[in-house]
Amino acid sequence: MKALSTKMKVWWIVITILVLVWSLLPVLSIFATSFKLPSQLNLGSFWPKTWSTTNYEQIFAGSAKDLFLPALRNSIGISLIATAIAVVLATFAAYAIARLDFPGKRLILTTALGVSIFPVISLVTPLFNLWRNIGLYDTWLGLIIPYLSLTLPISIWTLAAFFRQIPWELEQAAQVDGATTWQAFRKAIVPLAAPGVFTTALIAFFIAWNDFVYGISLTSTSRARPVPAALAFFTGASQFEEPTGAISAAAVVVTVPVVILVLLFQRQIVSGLTQGAVKG
């Protein structure tokens, strides 16, 4: 690549800073708000006058505890289970789509795409009625199933694209070297597919983690209500106080796992591992 001229460099730096500020300022604002005292929320300053952890105490130990902690547990449990199921199913489906030639292959891919672009809000009312009739309303399973419909299509698409990049010869070489079909898949394909699987798992997890519409419509109690929905039920300490601080604190808490996940897996997400498998 050609070295950038000084003028270009300056422009790139300016644009990068603008984008960073634009996208990170709201996050920073929520972070700052979460440390404000409820009485100081309306002072209009960006940073808190006095840093306090009142809001965190409220959601973990105080009045919002019974609302937030079960919701956090629900969110983590439901998102992890939905992600795990989606990734395992999508890995097999994508492998089949990338490797095998069977009738209806295109149909599966287009159907998956169709499902993922279907507006969630139009499905929620029929699901609500159905779930209530068959007893899935306000259960973990009642949320995991619709989450799968959101995460599976995108998982299949990303993984299929990823599997197509892995040279088929590797698998055949393994088979000639004495591996069974399953061994060839596990020893030659899975290690190479790992970055793709991690990336897909992260995307699937975020989708499930961030969902609001299903979360608020298909639950009614803390049995299954996830955090994004629970935030809407926060109340202030009295009716004259807004729960902004507590909501901000909860928002910061639910952002943390996402940030940790990205940091943990960023090495695996970096692809390019297939380089050198074949003449490149």
Partner 1 sequence: MAAINLKDIVKRYPDGFLAVKGVSLDIRDGEFVILVGPSGCGKSTLLRMIVGLEDISDGELRIGDAVVNDKAPRDRHLAMVFQNYALYPHLTVFENIAFPLRLQRGQFSEDEITAKVERAAKTLELQDHLQRKPANLSGGQRQRVAMGRAIVRDANAFLFDEPLSNLDAKLRGQMRTEIARMQRRLGTTTVYVTHDQTEAMTLGDRVAVLSKGELQQVASPRGLYEQPVNLFVAGFIGSPPMNFMPGEIEGDVLRLPFVDVPIDARLRERIGDRKIVIVGIRPEHFSDAGLLEDSKRSEGVSFDTEVDVTEWLGADLYAYIPFETSAEVAGTLAELDRDLDGEGMRTQLVVALDDESRIRDGDTATLWFDPARMLVFDPETQDNLMFDPEAAKSIDEQNEADRRASLERAHAREKAAAGSR
Binding site for partner 1 (CB under 8 A): 167, 169-170, 172-180, 183, 187-188, 191-192, 273-279
Nearer to partner 1, 188 or 254 (CB): 188
- Judge whether 246 and 234 are in contact, CB under 8 Å: yes
The closest alpha carbon to 254, from 31, 32, 66, belongs to 31
Nearer to partner 1, 139 or 175 (CB): 175
Closest to partner 1 by CB, 94 vs 174, is: 174
Smallest Cα–Cα separation from 272: which of 162, 158, 170? 162
- Smallest distance from the beta carbon of 169 to partner 1, in angstroms? 4
To partner 1, the closest distance from the beta carbon of 188 in angstroms equals 6
Smallest distance from the beta carbon of 163 to partner 1, in angstroms? 15
The CA angle 270-275-278, to the nearest 5 degrees, is 155
**CB of 66 or CB of 169, closer to partner 1:** 169
Tokens 């730096």 sit on residue: 13
In angstroms, give the least distance from the CB of 62 to partner 1. 50
Asked if 184 and 168 touch (Cβ cutoff 8 Å), the reply is no
3-state secondary structure of 103: coil
| Whole-number CA gyration radius for the chain | 23
